[in-house]
C-alpha cells in the first residue's frame, strides 16, 4: 500500500485554483490549504483537502500568544473562522504554529488560546495540531509533546515537520514513536540543517537513506494520514521541487 501524498498549496506563488490544478496534474492525492479556500468554485476544488493551516493569513498584530487580550481575541476569532470553514469543507485536520517565544507569559497566553480552539475544533469533529518549530516557543518535538501533555486536552495533536526535525537534530523515527497516537500529520521538505528553507526533498543536506528511514518510520507508525510536501514559493522553481519530491517519496517509500 502506497503512502498518501498531499501538497501544501502555499508552496506556489499562484492563486489556490492554479496551485490545485498543478497538484492534481502532478499526481498529488490531496492538498493542504489556507483559510479562504472555500471561496473557490466547486469545479476548481479538484482534490480532497486533508489539512488547513488555520493560523495562516492572520490579521496584522493578532497573535495567539499576544500579551494584549484584544490582539489575542482577534487571533482566536480568525482561527475559529478557519475551523468553521474546515468543517464546511469536510477537512479532518487543522493546525497552528507554536508561540513566538518560550517566555512564560507567551506560553501561558498561547495555552489559553489553544485550549479554547481545541474545544472549538472538537465540537466541529476536527483534530487540532501544533507544529514544532526551531527558533520559536516550542522548538522541538519533545517540548511540543510536553506542552500538549500539560494542556491535558484530548483534541491536541502534533504536526510533525521532518525539516524542523533536521534543524533541531531530532530523529524522525524517535519523534514518531514518542508521539504515538498524538501524531496528527506529517510535512516533508529539506533544508541546510540550519534554516527553515523548505527545499524539495534531497535538495539540501538529506540523502536517500535519511529520507527512506523517515518514510519507513511514518509507515510503521500507528498513523494512516498523508505525508504532505511543503516547499517554499521563493525557490527558483517550486513546481519542479514539488514534483521531484513526490517522485522521491514514490521511489523511496517502503513497500508493505
What would the pLDDT profile of 12-56 be if each residue is shown by its tens digit? 999 999 999 999 999 999 999 999 999 999 999 999 999 999 999
| CATH of residue 54 | 3.20.20.150
Please report the pLDDT score of residue 14 as a whole number: 98
What would the pLDDT profile of 220-229 be if each residue is shown by its tens digit? 999 999 999 9
| Structural domain harbouring 79 | 5-252
Instruction: Supply angle C-alpha 208, 247, 6, rounded to 5.
Output: 110
Q: Which three cell numbers stand for residue 124?
A: 466541529
pLDDT in tens, the chain (256 residues): 699 999 999 999 999 999 999 999 999 999 999 999 999 999 999 999 999 999 999 999 999 999 999 999 999 999 999 999 999 999 999 999 999 999 999 999 999 999 999 999 999 999 999 999 999 999 999 999 999 999 999 999 999 999 999 999 999 999 999 999 999 999 999 999 999 999 999 999 999 999 999 999 999 999 999 999 999 999 999 999 999 999 999 999 998 6
Please report the pLDDT score of residue 255 as a whole number: 81
Total tally of structural domains belonging to the chain: 1
Task: Please state, in angstroms and rounded to a whole number, the distance separating the CA atoms of residues 84 and 196.
Answer: 30
Please report the pLDDT score of residue 256 as a whole number: 66
Please report the pLDDT score of residue 232 as a whole number: 99
SS3 (DSSP) at 104: helix
Whole-prediction pTM: 0.97
Amino acid at each position: 500500500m502506497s503512502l498518501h501524498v498531499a501538497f501544501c498549496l502555499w508552496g506556489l506563488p499562484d492563486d489556490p485554483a492554479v496551485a490545485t490544478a498543478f497538484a492534481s496534474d502532478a499526481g498529488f492525492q490531496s492538498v493542504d490549504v489556507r483559510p479562504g479556500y472555500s471561496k473557490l468554485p466547486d469545479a476548481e476544488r479538484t482534490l480532497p483537502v486533508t489539512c488547513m493551516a488555520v493560523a495562516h493569513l492572520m490579521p496584522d498584530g493578532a497573535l495567539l500568544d499576544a500579551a494584549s487580550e484584544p490582539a489575542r481575541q482577534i487571533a482566536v476569532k480568525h482561527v475559529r473562522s478557519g475551523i468553521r470553514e474546515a468543517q464546511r469543507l469536510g477537512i479532518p485536520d487543522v493546525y497552528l504554529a507554536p508561540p513566538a517565544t518560550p517566555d512564560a507569559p507567551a506560553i501561558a497566553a498561547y495555552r489559553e488560546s489553544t485550549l479554547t480552539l481545541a474545544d472549538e475544533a472538537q465540537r466541529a469533529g476536527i483534530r487540532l495540531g501544533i507544529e514544532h518549530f526551531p527558533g520559536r516557543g516550542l522548538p522541538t518535538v519533545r517540548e511540543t509533546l510536553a506542552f500538549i501533555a500539560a494542556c491535558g486536552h484530548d483534541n491536541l495533536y502534533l504536526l510533525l515537520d521532518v525539516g524542523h526535525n533536521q534543524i533541531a537534530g531530532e530523529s524522525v523515527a524517535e519523534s514518531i514513536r514518542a508521539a504515538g497516537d498524538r501524531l496528527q500529520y506529517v510535512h516533508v521538505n529539506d533544508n541546510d540543517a540550519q534554516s527553515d528553507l523548505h527545499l524539495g526533498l534531497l535538495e539540501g543536506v538529506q540523502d536517500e537513506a535519511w529520507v527512506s528511514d523517515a518514510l519507513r518510520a511514518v509507515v510503521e507508525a500507528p498513523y494512516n494520514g498523508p505525508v504532505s510536501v511543503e516547499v517554499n514559493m521563493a525557490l527558483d522553481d517550486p513546481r519542479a521541487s514539488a514534483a521531484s519530491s513526490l517522485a522521491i517519496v514514490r521511489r523511496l517509500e517502503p513497500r508493505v
